[in-house]
């Protein structure tokens, strides 16, 4: 394929074009349409396609475009992370699908996953698992940063877990716990576990729920600001109505948003921790200052 010939639309571009062509009432009225498109995008990003559908690259060029080394490419091929290239005599030719997959592999490794974890995630994508399944897999691999998964249990066990009947009822009213088919679904298990830990210091459940009600809208505002920053970057590179970029660039944007979430959570957590530490130091200093000023027998304080 010469550089003058137009690049054919890849599978990811076809998915986005299909979504764009859908009637507005369908796009706006059905969340399932968007969720299905997202699932298909991740699935297409790692599916093998025949060389010739898009660009063709030798090993050295593939490594340069993906920001990695030829040695790493050989390792990924040996470990089964990359599909075999097309062989033309002694020349190995890779395509845009290999490039997309290689960039995803590099991104996952940069995020701290090891090769075994990356293989699990790529296998999940290839098996057609949806985004929810992938988040569950990330939760098992990445630990506490991943999205909370609701936990289902009997109502009796849920009430025992909360250990506060009025608090349990308030959590149901707020949607932190849902009652379905005679069972309880703990929607925010990590939040409730944190409640239980803090209660050991004597803070009442009702007070903790009040704090949650006050803080949650502020957290939503912070999330909105952070997510908008990521959205602005995406819209800067994918303008509504404009021709879609190549599949590899779309895959980069998807990866960027996933990494953006991780980095945003880390940044907010670090900032919040710093703020709380500073506030605690200030409060403790004020308390100690008040104690010193009011020490019994201090004539200057009494005056």
Q: What is the spatial distance between Cα 203 and Cα 208, in angstroms, rounded to a whole number?
A: 7
What was the pLDDT predicted at 206? Answer: 95
Q: Is the pLDDT of residue 299 over 80?
A: no
For the chain, state the CA radius of gyration: 26
Q: What is the spatial distance between Cα 87 and Cα 97, in angstroms, rounded to a whole number?
A: 16
In this predicted model, which residue has the larger pLDDT, 32 or 188? Answer: 188
In this predicted model, which residue has the larger pLDDT, 15 or 43? Answer: 15
Q: What is the spatial distance between Cα 117 and Cα 104, in angstroms, rounded to a whole number?
A: 13
Q: Is the pTM of this model over 0.75?
A: no
> In terms of Cα–Cα distance, which of 149, 107, 136, 146 is closest to 266?
146
Instruction: Quote the DSSP letter at residue 146.
Output: S
Instruction: Quote the DSSP letter at residue 80.
Output: T
What was the pLDDT predicted at 288? Answer: 80
Segment 91-106 mean pLDDT: 81
Query: What's the count of helices (H) and strands (E) in the chain, helices before strands?
Result: 14, 6
CB 68 within 8 A of CB 99: no
Residue with tokens 């091929």, as numbered in its chain: 77
What was the pLDDT predicted at 146? Answer: 42
Structure tokens at 27: 């796009």
What was the pLDDT predicted at 236? Answer: 72
Structure tokens at 302: 């009494």
Structure tokens at 219: 């957290």
Instruction: Please write the tens of the pLDDT for every residue from 177-221.
Output: 999 888 999 999 989 999 999 999 999 999 999 999 999 999 889
Instruction: Please write the tens of the pLDDT for every residue from 247-272.
Output: 666 666 666 666 676 677 778 888 88
- For the chain, percent helix, then strand, then coil, each to nearest 5? 65, 5, 25
Q: Among 17-31, 143-157, 258-272, name the one with the lowest average pLDDT.
A: 17-31
Give the three-class secondary structure for 43: helix
Q: Write out the E strands in 148-228.
A: 151-154, 177-180, 183-186
User: Which neighbouring-strand residues pair with 57?
Assistant: 94
Structure tokens at 195: 């409640």
Q: What is the spatial distance between Cα 240 and Cα 231, in angstroms, rounded to a whole number?
A: 12
Q: Write out the E strands in the chain.
A: 56-57, 86-88, 91-95, 151-154, 177-180, 183-186
């Amino acid at each position: 394929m010469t550089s003058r010939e137009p690049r054919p639309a890849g599978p990811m571009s076809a998915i986005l074009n299909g979504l764009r062509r859908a009637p507005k009432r369908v796009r706006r009225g059905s969340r399932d349409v968007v969720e299905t498109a997202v699932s298909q995008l991740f699935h297409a990003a790692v599916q093998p396609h025949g060389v010739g559908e898009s660009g063709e690259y030798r090993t050295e060029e593939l490594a340069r475009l993906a920001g990695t080394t030829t040695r790493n490419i050989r390792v990924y091929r040996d470990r089964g992370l990359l599909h075999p290239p097309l062989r033309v005599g002694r020349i190995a030719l890779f395509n845009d699908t290999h490039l997309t997959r290689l960039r995803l592999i590099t991104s996952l490794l940069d995020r701290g996953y090891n090769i075994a974890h990356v293989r699990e995630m790529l296998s999940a994508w290839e098996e057609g698992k949806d985004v929810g399944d992938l988040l569950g897999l990330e939760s098992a691999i990445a630990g506490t940063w991943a999205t909370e998964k609701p936990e289902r249990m009997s109502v009796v066990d849920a009430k025992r877990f909360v250990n506060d009947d009025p608090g349990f009822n308030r959590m149901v009213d707020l949607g932190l716990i849902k009652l379905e088919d005679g069972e309880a679904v703990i929607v925010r298990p990590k939040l409730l576990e944190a409640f239980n830990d803090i209660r050991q210091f004597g803070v009442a459940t009702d007070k903790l729920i009040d704090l949650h009600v006050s803080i949650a809208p502020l957290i939503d505002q912070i999330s909105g600001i952070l997510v908008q920053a990521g959205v602005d970057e995406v819209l800067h590179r994918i303008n509504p109505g404009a021709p879609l970029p190549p599949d590899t660039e779309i895959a980069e944007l998807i990866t960027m948003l996933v990494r953006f979430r991780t980095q945003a959570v880390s940044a907010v957590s670090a900032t919040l921790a710093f703020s709380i530490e500073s506030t605690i130091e200030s409060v403790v200093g004020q308390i100690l200052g008040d104690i010193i000023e009011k020490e019994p027998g201090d004539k200057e304080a009494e005056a």
